[in-house]
Structure 1
Amino acid sequence: MATRVALKANGKKGSKTSEERSTVKCLKEWSTWMMKKAKVITHYGFIPLVIIIGVNLKRKPTLSQLLTPF
């Protein structure tokens, strides 16, 4: 199996064009921004989600079932 070596026009290996750099930079900024937003949404949305799921359950226990250990 022979491997192919791709040569750049300027002769340097691993050099990126300005367009590739700007794309990578934009992707990094976007992913950082999304992770910050996801952290805030998770932080403030977890307890309301648990409450909504608990309220929408079909089987509702009575008050005496909630207060007794068995």
Structure 2
Amino acid sequence: MASNIKKVKGKGSKGWVAPEDKSLNDSLREWTTWAMRKVKVITHYGFIPMIIVIGMNSDPKPQLSQLLSPV
């Protein structure tokens, strides 16, 4: 059992890692990277429309032109 476990040295190592956990860690890292890229795009394109929708549902109800004008 001890021969299957090896110590990983490097920049991001956190200690002992079993060989079968390495693929799980890689897939988890790959999934989180994919998810963060999607969240970044959604946040980038969804922030201004979200502010407009929140502004239009507040009291008093402004017109769309009042929300978009800089004054």
TM-score, length basis structure 1: 0.65
Runs of 4 or more above 2 Å deviation: 15-18
Distance of 1:38 and 1:12 partners within structure 2: 36
Gaps of 5+ in 2: 9-16, 64-70
Structure 1 equivalent of residue 11 of structure 2: none
Count of residues in correspondence between the two structures: 56
Distance of 1:60 and 1:12 partners within structure 2: 64
Bigger radius of gyration: 1
Structure 1 equivalent of residue 54 of structure 2: 53
Gaps of 5+ in 1: 1-7, 63-68
TM-score, length basis structure 2: 0.64
